Chains A and B, each alone.
Chain A
Amino acid sequence: MTRPAGGGETHNSPTTHGDHSIAANDIKNVIIKWVLHPSARWLPLLLACAALVTAASLRPAGPVGGFAGWGSLAGVALATAVIRVLIRKPRHTSVIAALSLVSVLSTVGGWLAFQDAVAHREIDVTGQLRLEGRQPLDGGPHNALTLRLGEPALKESRDALRLTLALTDHDPAGPTCVQDTSATVALLVSGVEAQETDLRPGGTVDFTLGARTSSVEIHLALHTAHGCRMDVRTARAVLHDT
């Protein structure tokens, strides 16, 4: 039987019986002994800080939205660890144990959340989506463009591409045609157009990509009024997991 360092309490539960209860109590007592040891006072904080610094240095550039879970858990880990450090003379062993445990578990949970966010984070490929074809487009013979995303942009595999297109007047000083303009976009899969969608200017489409896609090709056909000349621009292209 292990006794806690300063409290004189017995941590065996009076309601448990048999070999399992003895083993559980042993583990519990070991943890409590460790938690209350002076050297363990700073450990949760050091662990939380180390995890935070490592994660921050490894975090890839891009949208931060996917890292909210990691951020929250890291915050909890740091806060509980700081509180643990500030308690110099523990009166309630269970509070100290709980703080240390919550901090360590939050650090571990935060690290796992970080790894998950890195693996499934959104990748901004706006600058890498090439528009091939002559611009401006009209509603007649020059109404088609191809949007292409090469292998470098797809080195990290994702399920889908979210694409927002800007369709603007070629000459903003001339009569506006935006209200009469739309585009049909289709993903080219094995040479066949699929997932065809109509887009209004500023509209967003989500294409589902196949597993291990090495390149993405999207065909665009512009529809606009007679005499209109429009520019097509990628407002935003993001690879993401569904």
Chain B
Amino acid sequence: MVLTVAALTATACGSSEPASLFKDGRVSVGAKNDQPGTGVVHKYKFSGFDISVTQQILGEVGVEPDFGIVPSEDRTTVLTDKKKDLVAATFSITTDRMKELDFAGPYAATFQGVMVRTKGNRVHRYEDLFGKRVCTWPGTTSKITLDKQGDQRIAVNEREDAASCISALRNKEADAVSTDQMILYGITQENPDFEVIPGITLGSANQYGIAMAKGHRKDCLRLRDALRKYVTSNSWSHDFSTSLPSIPKADTTWETDYKPRVETIDALSCRDEPKT
């Protein structure tokens, strides 16, 4: 009798965490479709660094990803509403987001930068943006950083998504696009008429993580361990330079600048707040 009660109690306690996201061997993953180099869809096939990282670390835990498109502003809700199991969409780890979601990351770090039209460009430093229309899109830390910059001399032009800002830049409805440099370099790979200004960075470095809803800590820790292994192997550099060849071309210290440290992965992965 006592043993039965103990067994029932143990079962009840053990079932406090929901079933593993990986139990079926497949997970749905939200990704970007309009960011060449990081997350893009060509002929119904996802590619980019977000996709490579996800495939590598899910492969390590023996799970297959099913990618689906997620807009920037919906990245949190698709997880909390259980429409996706994971999101790998240049999703920056922030203190606020860590309270709502668990992240395995960072798998890359990048500063926010500025992209302009190559032809006739006169923007070389931050002050050159004064009086210019800078396009960004909602649901991103880029928009927040630009707003926090509080510089009235820059006209922040908010559009629906990355594709809208690219169109606006091409059509001269915007003078620059501002978001993470990693995304901007990726965009220039398919838009050679644009260039990233290396000397302009805004705010602090964004740390990209693979996000999931709270309550799957064991799964998160498995992804964190797989990510640590991936980042310390040669695969990270290979996948990064394959997806984003424009970055090694422009930045000789790209591995130092974009590759996360293992200590940072430990500090930010699978936690409710950054480890101090």
Which residues of A does B touch, CB under 8 Å? Answer: 167-169, 171-180, 200-203, 225-229
Contacts and interface: CB of A to CB of B under 8 A. Distances in A.
Tell me if B's interface is mostly helix, strand, loop or mixed: mixed
A177 B94 CA distance: 9
A176 B144 contact: no
Given A171-B148, A176-B94, A226-B201, 13 more contacts: A169-B95, A175-B92, A175-B204, A175-B207, A176-B98, A179-B264, A200-B276, A201-B274, A201-B276, A226-B204, A227-B201, A227-B203, A227-B205
B95 A168 contact: yes
A201 B92 CA distance: 21
B201 A172 contact: no
Contacts of B165: none
Contacts of A180: 264
B205 A179 contact: no
Interface in B219-276: 263-264, 267-268, 273-276
Contacts of B96: 172-173
Nearest to A230: B204
Given A171-B144, A227-B111, A176 B274 contact: yes
Contacts of A228: 204
Contacts of A175: 92-94, 141, 203-207
Interface in B179-237: 201-207
Given A178-B276, A227-B201, A228-B204, A172 B95 contact: yes
B28 interface: no
Contacts of B111: 226-227
A174 B201 contact: no
B56 interface: no
B145 interface: yes
B270 to A, nearest CB: 14
B268 A179 contact: yes
B204 A174 contact: yes
Interface in B110-130: 111
B209 to A, nearest CB: 10
Contacts of B92: 175
Interface of B: 92-96, 98, 111, 141, 144-145, 148, 201-207, 263-264, 267-268, 273-276
A203 B276 contact: yes
B275 A174 contact: no
Given A179-B264, A227-B203, A174 B274 contact: no
With a 10 A CB-CB cut-off, give which of B207, B263, B275, B276 has the most chain A CB atoms.
Answer: B276
A97 B148 CA distance: 77
Contact of B95 (A178, A202, A225, A226): A178
With a 10 A CB-CB cut-off, give which of A167, A168, A175, A178 has the most chain B CB atoms.
Answer: A175
Contacts of A227: 111, 201-205
Contacts of B203: 174-175, 227
With a 10 A CB-CB cut-off, give which of A178, A179, A201, A229 has the most chain B CB atoms.
Answer: A179
Contacts of A172: 94-96
B145 A174 contact: yes
B190 to A, nearest CB: 26
Nearest to A202: B276
A203 B275 CA distance: 12
Contacts of A176: 93-95, 98, 207, 268, 274
Nearest to A139: B204
Contacts of A203: 276
19 contacts: A168-B95, A169-B95, A173-B96, A173-B141, A174-B94, A174-B144, A175-B92, A175-B94, A176-B93, A176-B274, A177-B204, A178-B95, A178-B267, A178-B274, A201-B274, A202-B276, A227-B111, A227-B201, A227-B203
A229 to B, nearest CB: 8
A65 to B, nearest CB: 25
Contacts of A179: 263-264, 267-268, 274-276
B6 to A, nearest CB: 36
Contact of B204 (A167, A173, A225): A225
A200 B274 CA distance: 12
A174 B203 CA distance: 9
Contacts of B206: 175
A225 B276 contact: no
Nearest to A199: B276
Contacts of A229: 204
A175 B274 CA distance: 11
With a 10 A CB-CB cut-off, give which of B94, B144, B268 has the most chain A CB atoms.
Answer: B94
B81 to A, nearest CB: 21
A191 to B, nearest CB: 32
A51 to B, nearest CB: 45
